Structure 1
Protein backbone atom coordinates (compact mmCIF):
# COMPACT_ATOMS: atom_id res chain seq x y z
CA UNK A 1 0.00 0.00 0.00
CA UNK A 2 1.34 3.44 -0.96
CA UNK A 3 1.96 5.96 1.82
CA UNK A 4 -0.27 8.48 0.12
CA UNK A 5 -3.25 6.24 0.89
CA UNK A 6 -2.84 7.20 4.56
CA UNK A 7 -2.83 10.92 3.79
CA UNK A 8 -6.08 12.84 4.51
CA UNK A 9 -8.31 13.70 1.58
CA UNK A 10 -8.27 17.16 -0.01
CA UNK A 11 -11.66 17.86 1.61
CA UNK A 12 -10.26 17.22 5.10
CA UNK A 13 -7.23 19.40 4.36
CA UNK A 14 -9.42 22.23 3.09
CA UNK A 15 -11.60 22.00 6.18
CA UNK A 16 -8.53 22.06 8.44
CA UNK A 17 -7.11 25.16 6.76
CA UNK A 18 -10.52 26.86 6.83
CA UNK A 19 -10.81 26.29 10.61
CA UNK A 20 -7.34 27.72 11.19
CA UNK A 21 -8.10 30.71 8.96
CA UNK A 22 -11.16 31.56 11.05
CA UNK A 23 -9.24 31.03 14.27
CA UNK A 24 -6.64 33.59 13.16
CA UNK A 25 -8.62 36.20 11.15
CA UNK A 26 -5.89 38.82 11.27
CA UNK A 27 -3.57 36.68 9.18
CA UNK A 28 -3.81 35.29 5.68
CA UNK A 29 -1.28 32.51 5.14
CA UNK A 30 0.81 34.01 7.94
CA UNK A 31 0.57 37.56 6.57
CA UNK A 32 -0.93 40.42 8.57
CA UNK A 33 -4.21 41.46 6.90
CA UNK A 34 -3.21 45.14 6.71
CA UNK A 35 -0.02 44.23 4.86
CA UNK A 36 -2.04 42.09 2.45
CA UNK A 37 -4.76 44.67 1.71
CA UNK A 38 -2.61 47.82 1.37
CA UNK A 39 -0.53 46.22 -1.36
CA UNK A 40 -1.16 48.42 -4.37
CA UNK A 41 -2.26 51.78 -5.70
CA UNK A 42 -5.77 52.44 -6.99
CA UNK A 43 -7.08 54.26 -10.05
CA UNK A 44 -9.23 57.36 -9.62
CA UNK A 45 -10.54 58.91 -12.83
CA UNK A 46 -8.40 61.55 -14.47
CA UNK A 47 -6.19 61.71 -11.39
CA UNK A 48 -4.71 58.35 -12.40
CA UNK A 49 -3.00 56.15 -9.83
CA UNK A 50 -3.53 57.12 -6.21
CA UNK A 51 -0.81 56.45 -3.67
CA UNK A 52 -0.33 56.90 0.08
CA UNK A 53 -1.21 59.07 2.00
CA UNK A 54 -4.42 59.04 -0.08
CA UNK A 55 -6.78 56.08 -0.29
CA UNK A 56 -9.76 55.35 -2.54
CA UNK A 57 -13.07 54.58 -0.88
CA UNK A 58 -14.44 51.26 -2.14
CA UNK A 59 -11.08 50.13 -3.54
CA UNK A 60 -8.83 50.39 -0.50
CA UNK A 61 -9.46 50.06 3.25
CA UNK A 62 -9.48 53.28 5.27
CA UNK A 63 -6.32 52.32 7.17
CA UNK A 64 -4.26 52.45 3.95
CA UNK A 65 -4.02 56.25 4.20
CA UNK A 66 -4.51 59.34 6.34
CA UNK A 67 -8.01 59.85 7.84
CA UNK A 68 -8.85 63.04 5.90
CA UNK A 69 -7.27 61.85 2.64
CA UNK A 70 -10.05 59.55 1.44
CA UNK A 71 -11.14 59.94 -2.19
CA UNK A 72 -14.52 59.06 -3.69
CA UNK A 73 -14.14 58.19 -7.36
CA UNK A 74 -16.93 57.96 -9.92
CA UNK A 75 -15.99 57.73 -13.60
CA UNK A 76 -13.64 60.68 -14.20
CA UNK A 77 -14.68 62.63 -11.12
CA UNK A 78 -12.94 62.58 -7.74
CA UNK A 79 -14.30 64.15 -4.55
CA UNK A 80 -13.12 64.55 -0.97
CA UNK A 81 -15.07 65.07 2.25
CA UNK A 82 -13.41 67.99 4.03
CA UNK A 83 -14.81 70.02 6.92
CA UNK A 84 -18.30 68.49 6.54
CA UNK A 85 -18.48 69.38 2.86
CA UNK A 86 -17.71 67.63 -0.43
CA UNK A 87 -15.09 69.14 -2.74
CA UNK A 88 -14.17 68.34 -6.33
CA UNK A 89 -10.54 67.29 -6.68
CA UNK A 90 -9.51 69.09 -9.86
CA UNK A 91 -5.82 68.24 -9.83
CA UNK A 92 -3.19 66.48 -7.72
CA UNK A 93 0.56 67.12 -7.88
CA UNK A 94 2.53 64.64 -5.77
CA UNK A 95 5.87 66.33 -6.53
CA UNK A 96 4.76 69.52 -4.76
CA UNK A 97 2.17 67.81 -2.52
CA UNK A 98 -0.51 70.15 -3.84
CA UNK A 99 -4.22 69.65 -4.43
CA UNK A 100 -6.54 71.90 -6.41
CA UNK A 101 -10.07 71.55 -5.07
CA UNK A 102 -13.41 73.35 -5.49
CA UNK A 103 -16.78 73.35 -3.82
CA UNK A 104 -19.09 70.88 -5.51
CA UNK A 105 -22.03 73.28 -5.77
CA UNK A 106 -20.97 76.66 -7.05
CA UNK A 107 -23.43 79.55 -7.39
CA UNK A 108 -24.45 80.10 -10.98
CA UNK A 109 -28.23 79.73 -11.05
CA UNK A 110 -29.14 80.71 -7.50
CA UNK A 111 -30.23 77.15 -6.74
CA UNK A 112 -27.88 76.44 -3.85
CA UNK A 113 -27.86 77.60 -0.27
CA UNK A 114 -25.54 80.39 0.79
CA UNK A 115 -22.56 79.27 2.88
CA UNK A 116 -23.18 80.05 6.54
CA UNK A 117 -19.92 78.96 8.13
CA UNK A 118 -16.29 79.94 7.81
CA UNK A 119 -14.46 76.75 6.92
CA UNK A 120 -10.73 77.27 6.69
CA UNK A 121 -8.29 74.58 5.60
CA UNK A 122 -6.04 75.85 8.36
CA UNK A 123 -8.39 74.03 10.75
CA UNK A 124 -6.99 70.72 9.46
CA UNK A 125 -3.43 69.93 10.50
CA UNK A 126 -2.72 68.07 7.24
CA UNK A 127 -3.72 70.91 4.89
CA UNK A 128 -2.71 74.55 4.38
CA UNK A 129 -3.35 77.15 1.68
CA UNK A 130 -0.65 77.77 -0.90
CA UNK A 131 0.72 81.25 -1.65
CA UNK A 132 -1.50 81.34 -4.77
CA UNK A 133 -4.69 81.61 -2.69
CA UNK A 134 -6.54 84.76 -1.67
CA UNK A 135 -9.55 85.05 0.61
CA UNK A 136 -12.68 86.90 -0.49
CA UNK A 137 -15.52 88.02 1.77
CA UNK A 138 -19.13 87.04 1.15
CA UNK A 139 -21.63 89.33 2.89
CA UNK A 140 -25.07 87.84 3.60
CA UNK A 141 -28.43 89.12 4.84
CA UNK A 142 -27.73 92.59 3.50
CA UNK A 143 -30.05 95.36 2.30
CA UNK A 144 -29.72 96.53 -1.29
CA UNK A 145 -26.34 98.27 -1.38
CA UNK A 146 -25.77 100.40 -4.48
CA UNK A 147 -22.02 100.43 -3.99
CA UNK A 148 -21.97 96.64 -4.28
CA UNK A 149 -24.54 96.16 -7.04
CA UNK A 150 -21.93 94.69 -9.39
CA UNK A 151 -20.79 92.18 -6.73
CA UNK A 152 -24.03 90.29 -6.15
CA UNK A 153 -23.58 86.71 -4.98
CA UNK A 154 -26.44 84.67 -6.55
CA UNK A 155 -27.12 82.12 -3.85
CA UNK A 156 -30.44 81.18 -2.26
CA UNK A 157 -31.11 81.98 1.39
CA UNK A 158 -32.61 78.99 3.20
CA UNK A 159 -35.42 80.88 4.93
CA UNK A 160 -36.32 82.76 1.71
CA UNK A 161 -35.78 86.13 3.34
CA UNK A 162 -35.80 89.07 0.98
CA UNK A 163 -32.16 89.98 1.41
CA UNK A 164 -29.05 90.24 -0.69
CA UNK A 165 -25.62 88.65 -0.70
CA UNK A 166 -22.41 90.13 -2.09
CA UNK A 167 -18.89 88.89 -2.71
CA UNK A 168 -16.10 91.37 -2.05
CA UNK A 169 -12.48 90.73 -3.01
CA UNK A 170 -11.30 94.07 -1.64
CA UNK A 171 -10.61 93.86 2.11
CA UNK A 172 -11.22 97.54 2.86
CA UNK A 173 -14.47 97.50 0.87
CA UNK A 174 -15.67 94.45 2.80
CA UNK A 175 -14.87 96.16 6.11
CA UNK A 176 -16.86 99.24 5.08
CA UNK A 177 -20.10 97.35 4.40
CA UNK A 178 -19.83 94.40 6.78
CA UNK A 179 -21.71 96.18 9.58
CA UNK A 180 -24.74 96.65 7.31
CA UNK A 181 -25.14 92.90 6.77
CA UNK A 182 -26.22 90.06 9.00
CA UNK A 183 -23.02 88.03 8.74
CA UNK A 184 -20.04 87.39 6.50
CA UNK A 185 -18.20 84.29 5.30
CA UNK A 186 -14.64 83.99 4.02
CA UNK A 187 -14.03 81.86 0.91
CA UNK A 188 -10.69 80.89 -0.69
CA UNK A 189 -10.07 81.48 -4.41
CA UNK A 190 -7.04 81.49 -6.68
CA UNK A 191 -5.15 84.79 -6.78
CA UNK A 192 -5.87 85.12 -10.50
CA UNK A 193 -9.59 84.61 -9.82
CA UNK A 194 -9.56 87.25 -7.08
CA UNK A 195 -7.97 89.69 -9.51
CA UNK A 196 -10.64 88.92 -12.12
CA UNK A 197 -13.38 89.49 -9.53
CA UNK A 198 -11.91 92.84 -8.50
CA UNK A 199 -11.71 93.99 -12.13
CA UNK A 200 -15.19 92.70 -12.94
CA UNK A 201 -13.85 90.44 -15.72
CA UNK A 202 -14.87 87.26 -13.91
CA UNK A 203 -18.16 86.35 -12.24
CA UNK A 204 -18.16 84.74 -8.82
CA UNK A 205 -19.53 81.39 -10.01
CA UNK A 206 -16.68 80.91 -12.48
CA UNK A 207 -14.12 82.18 -9.97
CA UNK A 208 -15.17 79.61 -7.38
CA UNK A 209 -15.44 76.78 -9.92
CA UNK A 210 -11.74 77.27 -10.69
CA UNK A 211 -11.10 76.10 -7.15
CA UNK A 212 -8.13 76.86 -4.94
CA UNK A 213 -4.90 75.17 -3.96
CA UNK A 214 -3.95 73.48 -0.70
CA UNK A 215 -0.69 71.85 0.26
CA UNK A 216 -0.90 68.57 2.13
CA UNK A 217 1.46 67.46 4.88
CA UNK A 218 2.23 63.82 5.60
CA UNK A 219 5.18 61.95 7.07
CA UNK A 220 6.64 60.98 3.70
CA UNK A 221 10.07 60.27 5.21
CA UNK A 222 8.58 57.64 7.52
CA UNK A 223 6.81 56.05 4.55
CA UNK A 224 10.03 55.87 2.53
CA UNK A 225 11.79 54.11 5.41
CA UNK A 226 8.88 51.71 5.75
CA UNK A 227 8.94 50.79 2.06
CA UNK A 228 12.73 50.35 2.06
CA UNK A 229 12.35 47.79 4.86
CA UNK A 230 9.79 45.84 2.80
CA UNK A 231 6.71 47.24 4.54
CA UNK A 232 3.64 49.05 3.25
CA UNK A 233 2.60 52.50 4.42
CA UNK A 234 -0.62 52.92 6.35
CA UNK A 235 -2.22 54.69 9.29
CA UNK A 236 -3.13 53.63 12.81
CA UNK A 237 -6.42 55.42 13.44
CA UNK A 238 -6.48 54.33 17.08
CA UNK A 239 -3.12 55.93 17.85
CA UNK A 240 -3.69 58.69 15.26
CA UNK A 241 -0.25 58.18 13.75
CA UNK A 242 1.31 56.74 10.57
CA UNK A 243 2.18 53.06 10.69
CA UNK A 244 4.31 50.58 8.77
CA UNK A 245 2.42 47.40 7.88
CA UNK A 246 4.72 44.39 7.72
CA UNK A 247 4.16 40.69 7.07
CA UNK A 248 4.02 39.76 10.74
CA UNK A 249 2.44 42.90 12.25
CA UNK A 250 2.46 46.72 12.11
CA UNK A 251 5.49 48.68 13.33
CA UNK A 252 5.80 52.42 14.12
CA UNK A 253 8.37 53.24 11.42
CA UNK A 254 9.85 50.22 9.62
CA UNK A 255 9.80 46.44 9.64
CA UNK A 256 12.01 44.78 12.24
CA UNK A 257 13.63 42.53 9.66
CA UNK A 258 13.76 42.40 5.84
CA UNK A 259 10.49 41.18 4.39
CA UNK A 260 10.61 38.30 1.90
CA UNK A 261 8.77 39.28 -1.30
CA UNK A 262 5.56 37.44 -2.05
CA UNK A 263 5.93 34.63 -4.57
CA UNK A 264 3.94 35.29 -7.77
CA UNK A 265 1.13 32.73 -8.18
CA UNK A 266 2.36 31.97 -11.71
CA UNK A 267 5.60 30.60 -10.28
CA UNK A 268 3.74 27.59 -8.94
CA UNK A 269 1.48 27.34 -11.99
CA UNK A 270 4.24 27.04 -14.59
CA UNK A 271 4.61 23.72 -16.47
CA UNK A 272 7.98 23.04 -14.82
CA UNK A 273 6.43 23.25 -11.36
CA UNK A 274 3.78 20.62 -12.08
CA UNK A 275 5.75 17.62 -10.88
CA UNK A 276 4.82 14.68 -8.66
CA UNK A 277 3.57 15.11 -6.03
CA UNK A 278 1.44 17.80 -7.65
CA UNK A 279 -1.77 17.74 -5.60
CA UNK A 280 -2.96 17.03 -2.08
CA UNK A 281 -3.95 13.52 -3.16
CA UNK A 282 -0.40 12.83 -4.38
CA UNK A 283 1.51 14.29 -1.40
CA UNK A 284 3.46 12.09 0.98
CA UNK A 285 2.64 12.92 4.61
CA UNK A 286 6.04 14.53 5.18
CA UNK A 287 5.54 16.85 2.20
CA UNK A 288 2.40 18.55 3.53
CA UNK A 289 3.12 22.21 4.45
CA UNK A 290 0.22 24.29 5.74
CA UNK A 291 0.29 27.72 4.08
CA UNK A 292 -0.46 29.34 7.43
CA UNK A 293 3.11 28.67 8.53
CA UNK A 294 5.38 28.27 5.50
CA UNK A 295 5.88 29.78 2.03
CA UNK A 296 7.30 27.68 -0.79
CA UNK A 297 10.09 29.68 -2.42
CA UNK A 298 11.51 27.19 -4.92
CA UNK A 299 11.75 23.49 -5.64
CA UNK A 300 14.43 21.38 -7.28
CA UNK A 301 13.33 18.05 -8.72
CA UNK A 302 16.93 17.07 -9.49
CA UNK A 303 18.02 16.91 -5.85
CA UNK A 304 14.58 16.62 -4.26
CA UNK A 305 14.97 19.98 -2.50
CA UNK A 306 12.18 22.28 -1.31
CA UNK A 307 13.21 25.72 -0.08
CA UNK A 308 10.53 27.21 2.15
CA UNK A 309 10.21 30.34 4.23
CA UNK A 310 8.78 30.34 7.75
CA UNK A 311 7.48 33.41 9.57
CA UNK A 312 10.21 32.73 12.12
CA UNK A 313 13.14 31.66 9.96
CA UNK A 314 14.22 30.41 6.55
CA UNK A 315 14.79 26.66 6.48
CA UNK A 316 15.41 23.94 3.93
CA UNK A 317 13.59 20.63 3.81
CA UNK A 318 14.93 17.64 1.91
CA UNK A 319 12.54 15.10 0.42
CA UNK A 320 13.27 11.38 0.29
CA UNK A 321 12.61 8.90 -2.45
Structure 2
Protein backbone atom coordinates (compact mmCIF):
# COMPACT_ATOMS: atom_id res chain seq x y z
CA UNK A 1 0.00 0.00 0.00
CA UNK A 2 2.91 2.37 0.68
CA UNK A 3 4.00 2.60 -2.99
CA UNK A 4 0.37 3.20 -4.05
CA UNK A 5 -0.02 5.98 -1.48
CA UNK A 6 3.18 7.57 -2.69
CA UNK A 7 1.86 7.59 -6.25
CA UNK A 8 -1.21 9.56 -5.08
CA UNK A 9 0.93 11.98 -3.09
CA UNK A 10 3.56 12.48 -5.80
CA UNK A 11 1.65 15.17 -7.82
CA UNK A 12 1.13 17.16 -4.63
CA UNK A 13 4.79 16.81 -3.69
CA UNK A 14 5.86 17.93 -7.16
CA UNK A 15 3.66 21.05 -6.95
CA UNK A 16 5.12 21.92 -3.55
CA UNK A 17 8.62 21.36 -4.87
CA UNK A 18 7.92 23.61 -7.88
CA UNK A 19 6.63 26.36 -5.61
CA UNK A 20 9.90 26.22 -3.66
CA UNK A 21 12.11 25.83 -6.75
CA UNK A 22 10.72 28.66 -8.86
CA UNK A 23 11.28 32.24 -7.60
CA UNK A 24 8.30 34.50 -7.12
CA UNK A 25 8.87 36.17 -10.50
CA UNK A 26 8.33 32.80 -12.22
CA UNK A 27 4.88 32.28 -10.82
CA UNK A 28 1.79 33.64 -12.54
CA UNK A 29 0.96 37.20 -11.58
CA UNK A 30 -1.56 39.82 -12.62
CA UNK A 31 -1.45 43.55 -13.27
CA UNK A 32 -4.32 45.70 -14.44
CA UNK A 33 -6.30 42.70 -15.63
CA UNK A 34 -3.31 41.18 -17.48
CA UNK A 35 -2.22 37.64 -16.63
CA UNK A 36 1.58 37.51 -16.64
CA UNK A 37 2.97 34.10 -17.59
CA UNK A 38 6.31 32.74 -18.67
CA UNK A 39 8.33 33.88 -20.63
CA UNK A 40 7.28 37.28 -19.24
CA UNK A 41 8.05 38.16 -15.65
CA UNK A 42 7.80 41.07 -13.26
CA UNK A 43 11.25 42.60 -12.94
CA UNK A 44 10.98 43.52 -9.28
CA UNK A 45 13.11 40.68 -7.93
CA UNK A 46 16.71 39.53 -8.13
CA UNK A 47 15.73 36.22 -9.75
CA UNK A 48 14.41 36.77 -13.25
CA UNK A 49 12.62 33.72 -14.62
CA UNK A 50 11.94 34.44 -18.25
CA UNK A 51 13.55 35.79 -21.39
CA UNK A 52 15.90 38.77 -21.09
CA UNK A 53 14.12 41.90 -22.28
CA UNK A 54 10.67 40.52 -21.41
CA UNK A 55 10.64 41.81 -17.86
CA UNK A 56 7.48 43.85 -17.24
CA UNK A 57 6.74 46.62 -14.76
CA UNK A 58 3.43 46.97 -12.96
CA UNK A 59 2.79 50.66 -12.33
CA UNK A 60 0.22 51.66 -9.72
CA UNK A 61 -1.10 48.08 -9.77
CA UNK A 62 -3.09 48.80 -12.93
CA UNK A 63 -0.75 49.63 -15.83
CA UNK A 64 1.56 47.03 -17.36
CA UNK A 65 4.72 48.50 -18.90
CA UNK A 66 7.28 46.95 -21.25
CA UNK A 67 10.62 48.79 -21.05
CA UNK A 68 12.52 48.91 -24.36
CA UNK A 69 15.87 50.72 -24.47
CA UNK A 70 14.99 52.74 -21.34
CA UNK A 71 11.68 53.84 -22.92
CA UNK A 72 8.26 52.80 -21.67
CA UNK A 73 5.58 51.06 -23.73
CA UNK A 74 2.10 50.40 -22.38
CA UNK A 75 0.99 46.76 -22.79
CA UNK A 76 -2.53 46.45 -24.19
CA UNK A 77 -2.74 42.71 -24.82
CA UNK A 78 -0.60 39.56 -24.70
CA UNK A 79 -1.47 36.53 -26.83
CA UNK A 80 0.43 33.58 -25.39
CA UNK A 81 -0.78 31.25 -28.13
CA UNK A 82 0.43 33.40 -31.03
CA UNK A 83 3.47 34.76 -29.13
CA UNK A 84 2.50 38.37 -29.77
CA UNK A 85 1.71 41.44 -27.72
CA UNK A 86 0.23 44.83 -28.56
CA UNK A 87 1.93 47.85 -27.01
CA UNK A 88 1.72 51.62 -27.35
CA UNK A 89 4.08 54.45 -26.50
CA UNK A 90 3.49 55.39 -22.86
CA UNK A 91 4.40 59.00 -23.63
CA UNK A 92 1.00 59.40 -25.28
CA UNK A 93 -1.75 60.06 -22.76
CA UNK A 94 -5.43 59.51 -23.42
CA UNK A 95 -6.29 63.21 -23.25
CA UNK A 96 -4.06 63.89 -26.26
CA UNK A 97 -6.36 61.82 -28.45
CA UNK A 98 -9.11 64.42 -28.13
CA UNK A 99 -6.70 67.30 -28.79
CA UNK A 100 -5.43 65.56 -31.93
CA UNK A 101 -1.73 65.97 -31.17
CA UNK A 102 -0.11 62.82 -29.77
CA UNK A 103 3.31 63.78 -28.45
CA UNK A 104 6.05 61.24 -29.15
CA UNK A 105 9.65 61.77 -28.13
CA UNK A 106 11.70 58.76 -29.26
CA UNK A 107 11.87 56.31 -32.15
CA UNK A 108 11.41 52.65 -31.36
CA UNK A 109 14.86 51.05 -31.30
CA UNK A 110 15.19 47.27 -31.47
CA UNK A 111 18.44 45.38 -31.90
CA UNK A 112 17.06 42.75 -34.26
CA UNK A 113 20.22 40.64 -34.04
CA UNK A 114 19.86 39.96 -30.32
CA UNK A 115 16.40 41.07 -29.18
CA UNK A 116 13.65 38.62 -28.23
CA UNK A 117 11.18 41.13 -29.73
CA UNK A 118 10.45 41.80 -33.39
CA UNK A 119 7.94 43.92 -35.27
CA UNK A 120 5.39 41.93 -37.26
CA UNK A 121 3.86 42.19 -40.72
CA UNK A 122 0.78 43.75 -39.13
CA UNK A 123 2.78 46.93 -38.45
CA UNK A 124 3.42 49.99 -40.55
CA UNK A 125 5.12 53.34 -39.91
CA UNK A 126 3.94 56.92 -39.66
CA UNK A 127 6.17 59.95 -39.16
CA UNK A 128 5.43 62.88 -36.87
CA UNK A 129 6.99 66.26 -37.60
CA UNK A 130 6.61 68.82 -34.83
CA UNK A 131 7.06 72.59 -34.87
CA UNK A 132 7.56 73.15 -38.60
CA UNK A 133 7.91 76.65 -39.99
CA UNK A 134 6.78 75.60 -43.47
CA UNK A 135 3.57 73.95 -44.56
CA UNK A 136 3.61 70.28 -45.61
CA UNK A 137 0.02 70.26 -46.82
CA UNK A 138 1.25 69.88 -50.39
CA UNK A 139 2.26 66.32 -49.52
CA UNK A 140 -0.61 63.93 -50.26
CA UNK A 141 0.16 61.84 -47.16
CA UNK A 142 0.49 64.74 -44.72
CA UNK A 143 -2.20 65.32 -42.09
CA UNK A 144 -1.93 68.45 -39.99
CA UNK A 145 -2.05 67.92 -36.24
CA UNK A 146 -4.36 70.20 -34.28
CA UNK A 147 -3.85 71.42 -30.75
CA UNK A 148 -0.06 71.07 -30.60
CA UNK A 149 1.71 73.50 -28.24
CA UNK A 150 3.85 74.77 -31.14
CA UNK A 151 0.73 76.09 -32.90
CA UNK A 152 0.53 78.92 -30.38
CA UNK A 153 3.91 80.10 -31.68
CA UNK A 154 2.68 80.06 -35.26
CA UNK A 155 4.32 76.73 -36.11
CA UNK A 156 2.68 73.66 -37.61
CA UNK A 157 2.91 69.94 -36.89
CA UNK A 158 2.08 67.05 -39.21
CA UNK A 159 1.92 63.28 -39.47
CA UNK A 160 3.05 61.63 -42.71
CA UNK A 161 1.01 58.50 -43.33
CA UNK A 162 3.47 57.01 -45.80
CA UNK A 163 5.97 56.77 -42.94
CA UNK A 164 8.75 58.35 -44.97
CA UNK A 165 10.66 61.29 -43.59
CA UNK A 166 14.34 62.04 -43.73
CA UNK A 167 16.56 64.50 -42.01
CA UNK A 168 16.61 66.41 -45.28
CA UNK A 169 12.82 66.83 -45.21
CA UNK A 170 12.90 67.96 -41.60
CA UNK A 171 15.56 70.51 -42.51
CA UNK A 172 13.65 71.62 -45.60
CA UNK A 173 10.44 72.29 -43.66
CA UNK A 174 12.35 73.64 -40.64
CA UNK A 175 10.83 71.21 -38.14
CA UNK A 176 11.96 71.05 -34.53
CA UNK A 177 11.52 67.29 -34.08
CA UNK A 178 10.86 64.19 -36.20
CA UNK A 179 9.70 60.86 -34.71
CA UNK A 180 8.92 57.67 -36.65
CA UNK A 181 6.29 55.51 -34.93
CA UNK A 182 5.06 51.99 -35.72
CA UNK A 183 1.27 51.55 -35.79
CA UNK A 184 -1.06 48.77 -36.84
CA UNK A 185 -1.53 48.80 -40.61
CA UNK A 186 -5.30 48.22 -40.35
CA UNK A 187 -5.72 51.30 -38.16
CA UNK A 188 -3.56 53.46 -40.39
CA UNK A 189 -5.75 52.54 -43.37
CA UNK A 190 -8.79 53.81 -41.47
CA UNK A 191 -6.95 57.07 -40.91
CA UNK A 192 -6.02 57.26 -44.61
CA UNK A 193 -9.66 56.75 -45.53
CA UNK A 194 -10.71 59.48 -43.09
CA UNK A 195 -12.58 56.93 -40.99
CA UNK A 196 -13.48 57.89 -37.44
CA UNK A 197 -10.79 56.30 -35.32
CA UNK A 198 -9.85 59.13 -33.01
CA UNK A 199 -7.48 60.67 -35.56
CA UNK A 200 -3.69 60.25 -35.34
CA UNK A 201 -3.89 60.12 -31.56
CA UNK A 202 -6.30 57.18 -31.67
CA UNK A 203 -4.04 55.28 -34.08
CA UNK A 204 -0.98 55.75 -31.86
CA UNK A 205 -2.97 54.93 -28.72
CA UNK A 206 -4.11 51.64 -30.33
CA UNK A 207 -0.45 50.70 -30.57
CA UNK A 208 1.43 48.17 -32.66
CA UNK A 209 2.27 44.49 -32.52
CA UNK A 210 5.46 42.79 -31.37
CA UNK A 211 6.36 39.13 -31.66
CA UNK A 212 8.50 37.36 -29.09
CA UNK A 213 10.43 34.19 -29.77
CA UNK A 214 13.15 32.06 -28.21
CA UNK A 215 16.29 31.99 -30.30
CA UNK A 216 18.70 30.86 -27.61
CA UNK A 217 20.18 27.33 -27.63
CA UNK A 218 20.39 27.53 -23.85
CA UNK A 219 16.70 28.35 -23.47
CA UNK A 220 15.68 25.74 -26.03
CA UNK A 221 17.64 23.05 -24.18
CA UNK A 222 16.22 24.12 -20.82
CA UNK A 223 12.62 24.22 -22.05
CA UNK A 224 12.87 20.83 -23.78
CA UNK A 225 13.93 19.37 -20.44
CA UNK A 226 10.81 20.78 -18.73
CA UNK A 227 12.40 23.87 -17.19
CA UNK A 228 11.91 27.60 -17.42
CA UNK A 229 14.66 29.73 -18.94
CA UNK A 230 15.85 32.55 -16.75
CA UNK A 231 18.71 34.63 -15.43
CA UNK A 232 19.94 35.35 -11.94
CA UNK A 233 22.40 37.83 -10.51
CA UNK A 234 25.77 36.18 -9.84
CA UNK A 235 26.59 37.47 -6.40
CA UNK A 236 30.18 36.21 -6.63
CA UNK A 237 30.95 37.98 -9.90
CA UNK A 238 29.93 41.58 -9.43
CA UNK A 239 26.22 40.90 -9.84
CA UNK A 240 26.46 39.89 -13.52
CA UNK A 241 23.46 38.07 -14.95
CA UNK A 242 23.97 34.30 -15.07
CA UNK A 243 21.91 31.91 -17.19
CA UNK A 244 19.69 29.68 -15.04
CA UNK A 245 17.36 26.82 -15.88
CA UNK A 246 14.61 26.73 -13.24
CA UNK A 247 13.46 23.16 -12.62
CA UNK A 248 11.07 21.42 -10.25
CA UNK A 249 14.08 20.21 -8.29
CA UNK A 250 15.68 23.66 -8.17
CA UNK A 251 17.72 25.98 -10.41
CA UNK A 252 20.55 24.60 -12.54
CA UNK A 253 23.04 26.17 -14.94
CA UNK A 254 22.23 23.89 -17.88
CA UNK A 255 19.04 21.78 -18.06
CA UNK A 256 16.66 19.82 -15.87
CA UNK A 257 17.54 16.22 -15.15
CA UNK A 258 15.29 13.18 -15.46
CA UNK A 259 14.03 11.69 -12.25
CA UNK A 260 12.59 8.20 -12.00
CA UNK A 261 10.51 6.58 -9.27
CA UNK A 262 10.57 2.82 -8.89
CA UNK A 263 8.69 0.34 -6.75
CA UNK A 264 8.81 -3.43 -6.46
CA UNK A 265 5.61 -3.64 -8.51
CA UNK A 266 7.01 -1.43 -11.26
CA UNK A 267 10.39 -3.15 -11.28
CA UNK A 268 8.79 -6.57 -11.59
CA UNK A 269 7.18 -5.40 -14.84
CA UNK A 270 10.46 -3.94 -16.06
CA UNK A 271 9.15 -0.34 -16.02
CA UNK A 272 10.14 2.90 -14.34
CA UNK A 273 7.95 5.93 -13.65
CA UNK A 274 9.95 8.98 -14.73
CA UNK A 275 9.33 12.72 -14.41
Which category of TM-score, normalised to the shorter sequence, fits these structures? 0.5 to 0.7
2:83 matches 1:88: no
Label 1:228 to 1:119 Cα distance change in 2 as closer, same or farther (>3 A): closer
Whole-Å separation in 2 of the counterparts to 1:248 and 1:165? 56
Cα shift readout 1:182-233 (whole Å, capped 9, x = no counterpart): 3422110110122122223241011111110011122588557535646443
Aligned-partner Cα distance in 1 for 2:193–2:52: 40
Check 1:215–1:228 CA distance in 2 against 1; reply closer, same or farther (3 A cut). Answer: closer
1:130 pairs with one of 117, 120, 126: 120
1:275-294 correspondence runs (5 A): none
In the alignment of these two chains, the number of paired residues is 224
Task: Give CA-to-partner distance per residue, 1:217-265, whole Å, 9 cap, x none.
Answer: 225885575356464432246676753134465222x1245399xxxxx
2:88 aligned residue (93, 102, 116): 102
Residues 22-171 of structure 1: pairs in structure 2 closer than 5 A: 35-37=22-24, 40-48=27-35, 50-58=36-44, 61-73=46-58, 74-104=60-90, 105-106=92-93, 107-108=96-97, 114-122=103-111, 125-145=115-135, 146-147=137-138, 150-152=143-145, 154-156=147-149, 162-171=154-163
- 2:25 and 2:89 mapped to 1: Cα distance? 30
Change (3 A) 1:225 1:41: farther
Give yes or no for contact 1:219–1:242 (8 Å, CA) kept in 2: no
Which of 197, 200, 204 pairs up with 1:208?
204
Tell me: CA distance 1:204–1:75, structure 2 relative to 1, closer, same or farther (3 Å).
same
Question: 1:191 aligns to what?
Answer: 185
In our comparison, the structure showing a higher alpha carbon Rg is: 1
Query: Contact conserved, 2:243 with 2:253, CA < 8 A, in 1?
Result: no
Deviation track 1:128-169 (CA, whole Å, cap 9, x = no partner) reads: 111010011111231251436842264446xx8652221011
Q: Aligned partners of 1:139 and 1:255: how far apart in 2?
A: 52
- In structure 2, what is the equivalent of residue 235 of structure 1? 231
- Decide whether the 8 Å contact of 1:102 with 1:209 is kept in 2: yes
Give the unaligned 5+ runs of structure 2.
1-16, 235-239, 262-275
Sort the Cα spacing of 1:198 and 1:43 in 2 relative to 1 into closer, same or farther, 3 A: same
TM-score, with length taken from structure 1: 0.57
Cα separation, partners in 2 of 1:85 and 1:180, compared to 1, 3 Å: same
In the alignment, what sits opposite 1:258?
A: 259
Structure 1: stretches of 5+ with no match in the other structure: 1-29, 261-321
C-alpha separation in 2, matches of 1:256 and 1:163 = 65
